[in-house]
Amino acid sequence: MAIRSRHRTSSAAPLAWAYAAVVLYASLYPFTGWRWPPGQDLVHLLALPWPPWRDPFDQWANLVGYLPWGLLCMLGLRSRGLGLPSAFAVVMLLTAGISYGAEVTQHFLPGRHPSLKDWAMNTLGGVSGAVFAVALQPLGATSLWKDLRERWFIARSGGGLALLALWPAGLISPAPVPLGLGHVGDRVRGWTLQALADVPWASAAHELISQTPQASAPLSRLAESLVITLGLLAPCLVAFSISAPGWRRLVLVAGAAALAVAAMTLSTLLNFGPQHAWAWLTPAAGPALAAGVVAAALLSVLPRRVLAAIGLVVITGAVMLVAQAPADPYYAVNLQAWEQGRFAHFHGTVQWIGWLWPYTAMLWLLIQVGVRE
């Protein structure tokens, strides 16, 4: 049975803004050493220099990096009824503005080099993405997606679809437990201690936080299995909250399980090499994934609001269990290599998604609980 409505929220719009945040993060990473450039006035800062060096990889990375932004932005604007010329102009202005702002801001970071060439390639990438989005329409790709959405998902499903699209990316970042998203407690603790250091009126809070014991004992096999099971249930329940009961929900469960296996295998491959790609599939991981599939299939018959409420409980439990996982030496070395090596900019993209996805999903599910059927 198709789920039809005249009022449909686009998943392209929230994905576009999420991608813009990712692009800005990659442009300004590592966010350290902020200072006013010595000997530079405001006029010189606003004028981007043309770099003398040539780096083909960097040029293509700047172009390709902004292409998805232009594609998503164009799709989102067109879904809101904006005409083609106006939408194209908005995409071009937004792309040029975001890129220019990022390049100017790089003046204040010692490790970054603002470049007029980077701005030009970024803008070209965004415009190319918009052109690609326009080219998809005559091929019927956008109509096919709209028809698929009408048959599989409810009207206001844009936010949920964006969450589902981002979930596999969050799994690629190193985690102490497979499918264990939201492990940000140690970082928040470190950031808080750094912010409160040498602040006279906050000395008591600094001492209290510094003396707070951290998790040291490894998770039991039962706790690890539970994290994996709940980690697979989380996206399934998000998907159920925007879809009608029936066989399609079972297909979504199978898709979530396949994406989880693929993302965890890719993460292990990137971190340890192809020969260890399946190292994450421990004796506890396989049965836990199977338990997650069975539990999701059993829950799939329930109403959407009930499933949204269950999803809140599931994600909260998963986050609480993941918070108990210690940052063991292997995980710490793995994370350090990820952050300082070849993936220095890429890691921030998926790591922030992995940190924030559970909390964003909980907020979205909370909203769904209050929405009437």
Cα–Cα distance, 65 to 222 (Å, whole number): 41
Cα–Cα distance, 73 to 14 (Å, whole number): 9
Instruction: State the chain's mean pLDDT as an integer.
Output: 79
Q: Is the pLDDT score of 194 beyond 50?
A: yes
Residue 266's Cβ-side half-sphere holds a number of Cα atoms within 13 Å equal to 13
> Given this model, what pLDDT does residue 276 score?
75
Boundaries of every domain in the chain: 12-152, 161-369
Least confident segment among 96-100, 134-138, 239-243, 287-291: 134-138
Q: Is the pLDDT score of 226 beyond 90?
A: yes
Q: To 10 degrees, the CA torsion angle through 67, 72, 74, 78?
A: 160
**How far from each other are the two terminal CA atoms of the chain, in whole angstroms?**
16
Q: What is the DSSP string of 303-328?
A: -HHHHHHHHHHHHHHHHHHHHTS---
Q: What is the DSSP string of 106-172?
A: GGG-TT----HHHHHHHHHHHHHHHHHHHHHTTTTHHHHHHHHHHHHS-SS-HHHHHHHHHHHHHHH
Whether residue 160 contacts residue 252, with contact meaning beta carbons closer than 8 Å, is answered with no
Q: Is the pLDDT score of 341 beyond 50?
A: no
What is the SS3 assignment for 218-233? CCCHHHHHHHHHHHHH
Q: Is the pLDDT score of 235 beyond 80?
A: yes
Among 268-272, 343-347, 354-358, the range of highest mean pLDDT = 354-358
Q: Could you give phi then psi for residue 353, rounded to 5 degrees?
A: -65, -45
> Given this model, what pLDDT does residue 250 score?
94
Q: Is the pLDDT score of 190 beyond 80?
A: no
Least confident segment among 15-29, 60-74, 288-302: 15-29
Q: Which residue has the higher pLDDT, 131 or 54?
A: 131
| The one-letter amino acid at 183 | H
Task: Tell me whether residue 41 is exposed, middle or buried, using C-beta atoms within 10 angstroms of its C-beta: 0 to 12, 13 to 18, 19 or more.
Answer: exposed
Whether residue 19 contacts residue 75, with contact meaning beta carbons closer than 8 Å, is answered with no
Q: Is the pLDDT score of 307 beyond 90?
A: yes
> Given this model, what pLDDT does residue 329 score?
41
Whether residue 71 contacts residue 129, with contact meaning beta carbons closer than 8 Å, is answered with yes
Whether residue 181 contacts residue 354, with contact meaning beta carbons closer than 8 Å, is answered with yes
Q: Which residue has the higher pLDDT, 167 or 333?
A: 167
> Given this model, what pLDDT does residue 309 score?
94
Residue 73, token pair as written in the block: 């932005």
| The one-letter amino acid at 131 | V
Q: Is the pLDDT score of 4 beyond 50?
A: no
- Look-up of token digits 């005559």: 138
Residue 155's Cβ-side half-sphere holds a number of Cα atoms within 13 Å equal to 8
CA distances for 102 relative to 38, 67, 74, 220, angstroms = 19, 16, 21, 45
DSSP state of 198: T
Q: Report the pLDDT averaged over residues 156-163.
A: 84
Cα–Cα distance, 96 to 168 (Å, whole number): 29
Chain segment 82-118, per-residue pLDDT in tens:
888 888 899 899 999 999 998 888 888 887 778 888 8
> Given this model, what pLDDT does residue 287 score?
94
Share of the chain above pLDDT 70, in %: 76
Least confident segment among 61-70, 130-139, 214-223, 360-369: 214-223
> Given this model, what pLDDT does residue 347 score?
58
Cα–Cα distance, 178 to 262 (Å, whole number): 12
Q: Could you give phi then psi for residue 239, rounded to 5 degrees?
A: -65, -40
| The one-letter amino acid at 112 | R
Least confident segment among 63-67, 147-151, 344-348: 344-348
Cα–Cα distance, 228 to 350 (Å, whole number): 19
pTM above 0.85, yes or no: no
Radius of gyration of the chain measured on its C-alpha atoms: 23
| The one-letter amino acid at 207 | E
